[in-house]
Amino acid sequence: MVNLSKSKYCGLWQCPKIAWMRKYKPEELVIDEATQARMDAGNEVGDLAMGLFGDYVEVTAYNNDRIDLAQMIRNTKEEMAKGTPIICEASFDYNGLYCAVDILKKDGDGWTIYEVKSSTKDEKPIYHADVAYQKYVLEHCGVNVTGTYLVVLNNEYIFDGTLKLDELFKITDVSEEVANETGRIEYNLAIAEKILNNPEEPDIDLSPSCNDPYKCAFWNYCAKDVPSPSVFDLYRLAFKKKIEYYRKGLVAYEDLICEPKIKNEKQIRQMEYYLQDKGTYVDKEAIREFLDTLSYPLYFLDFETMMPVIPKYIGTKPYQQITFQYSLHYIEEEGGELKHKEFLAESGPDPRRSLAEQLCKDIPMNVCVTAYNKDFECSRIKELAEAFPDLSEHLLNIRDNILDLIVPFRGGYYYNKAMGGSFSIKSVLPAIFPDDPALDYHNLEGIHNGSEAMNIFPSIEFMEPEERERTRRNLLKYCELDTFAMVKVWEELIRVSK
Ligand code: SF4
């Protein structure tokens, strides 16, 4: 037999090499901001869901700050023997196959398994594989499993001031899906045994699994021999398609440029500009046409948001984007002075009303506003207008007057090879101004991107005054650079259009 945990089994299910990497090269795991946020969300949701059926006993045990599996298994046996109706983190081991059930609920002379996910979707096959594995382990430990359920967040739940767990969570009976998966478990375990008992790295190449549903945490290791840039940097190409080219040996731009199936002019330009080390491509006329759509007074707007997994403000849903900050640069007339306004809410209370009021004071109606990739700002303003009908006329007027500064880049009117396949402001800015330290996000203190801003804002309310002040300063500096970057990009467009 092989030693396997639930997460290793699921890793194996996605790609057998994940389980091998977890065992033999765990130091290669890369936990980025987004992965960490997902893990934190999972813990927060898991803790809250424990109370879903009322009083419960959690059997988690530690030894010197490390999870004590043996003790957890002993605790579980004791609680089951006592007939405890709800046991959380109920732990089992069958010949080295280990699992902890999020919620184990007594059901007559049997027990039902509830697997909690922080997602709002319950139909992912990997979730069914996860529950099927748990059922397999429990049944082999002699437990009569009478039901298998997935517990996910209900994305239609609206918080009314009192958290109602039975409404916040959606419970789905996955018995059928689990039954379909059960037949594959022995086969998967046989593969696991073969792979995990062999210290030699399995010969498993990159595949669509590497990005399903997120980029695998071992990607940097597995893709270490892929040249840079490569097919994986190509603009707007589906990951599956990239893998198809990769498998045909069409990896480096030198190879891909000859591929007749690649007809997208932006992809071709991306490769040509890199291979021929060309300067900047400028379509003056298209840029001029775009600039003609802008008018004075001209505003440059950028929002920062957070996304509470568990809704904390009345009228909001799980994972709803909550705008808490904006930066606004503006120029009142041609040749006029560049001015700046900003808003940063207090961490803790609902920031939306005060932000919406200030936004309406700072941006008059019927002025030209720019955002970079405006769908995000437009959606947030629409949500604010829905939440505060008395401000909706002004808010929707701002939204309707927003123009998108990404257009010249996404439209291919301006390109240089340093942009690679990305037209985000974080790629475009250094590509245009590679040597300006004032425009380098790396030189900012503490906060360098939207994910960091999103993660840190909710924690400010728990900080000591000095740290709080420093973090607020960092947030203001970060957001200010976002709109200052937009101004610089706009100035560059004017320069090249002449
Ligand atoms: S990067 Fe791809 S091949 Fe490597 S472990 Fe992850 S899924 Fe498997």
User: Are residues 90 and 108 located together in one domain of the fold?
Assistant: yes
Cα–ligand 1 centroid distance for 21 (angstroms): 9
User: Are residues 92 and 77 located together in one domain of the fold?
Assistant: yes
> Would the CB of 486 count as within 6 Å of ligand 1?
no
User: Are residues 458 and 402 located together in one domain of the fold?
Assistant: yes
Query: 31: pLDDT confidence band, cut at 50, 70 and 90?
Result: confident
**CATH number of the domain encompassing residue 136:** 3.90.320
Q: What is the residue range of 267's domain?
A: 226-277
Cα–ligand 1 centroid distance for 122 (angstroms): 24
89, burial (CB in 10 Å: exposed 0-12, middle 13-18, buried 19+):
buried
**CATH number of the domain encompassing residue 410:** 3.30.420.10
Cα–ligand 1 centroid distance for 206 (angstroms): 6
Question: Rounded to the nearest 5°, which phi and psi values hold at 56?
Answer: -150, 165
Asked whether residue 45 carries a pLDDT value surpassing 90, the answer given is: yes
Domain end (from 235, 252, 277): 277
User: Are residues 323 and 250 located together in one domain of the fold?
Assistant: no
> Would the CB of 15 count as within 6 Å of ligand 1?
yes
pLDDT for res 87? 98
Cα–ligand 1 centroid distance for 204 (angstroms): 8
* DSSP label of 401: T
Indicate the number of domains in the chain.
Answer: 3
User: Are residues 417 and 460 located together in one domain of the fold?
Assistant: yes
> Would the CB of 21 count as within 6 Å of ligand 1?
yes
User: Are residues 43 and 182 located together in one domain of the fold?
Assistant: yes
SS3 356: helix
Cα 498 from chain centre: 40
User: Are residues 15 and 28 located together in one domain of the fold?
Assistant: yes
Task: Give the mean pLDDT of 66-86.
Answer: 96
**Among the atoms of ligand 1, which is closest to the Cα of residue 207?**
2
| Residue whose CA lies nearest to ligand 1 atom number 1 | 219
Separation CA 276–CA 278 (nearest Å): 5
C-alpha dist (Å) from residue 383 to 98, 356, 378, 379:
45, 10, 9, 6
Separation CA 383–CA 390 (nearest Å): 13
Classify residue 206: in a domain, yes or no: no
Block residue for tokens 């930066």: 327
> Would the CB of 219 count as within 6 Å of ligand 1?
yes
Q: What is the pLDDT of residues 425-468, one digit of tens each?
A: 999 999 999 999 999 999 999 999 999 999 999 999 999 999 99
| Residue whose CA lies nearest to ligand 1 atom number 4 | 222
Separation CA 6–CA 26 (nearest Å): 16
User: Are residues 169 and 25 located together in one domain of the fold?
Assistant: yes
User: Are residues 97 and 243 located together in one domain of the fold?
Assistant: no
Residues 6+ positions from 466 with CB-CB distance below 8 Å? none
pTM, rounded to two decimals: 0.90
Classify residue 54: in a domain, yes or no: yes
- Whole-number CA gyration radius for the chain: 27
Block residue for tokens 């993660």: 455
Q: What is the pLDDT of residues 380-394, one digit of tens each?
A: 999 999 999 999 999
Cα–ligand 1 centroid distance for 1 (angstroms): 24
| CA nearest to 188, candidates 14, 18, 13 | 13
Q: Ligand 1 test: best mutation among 22, 191, 219, most atoms within 8 Å of CB?
A: 219
Query: Residues 17, 217: contact at Cβ < 8 Å?
Result: no
* DSSP label of 442: G
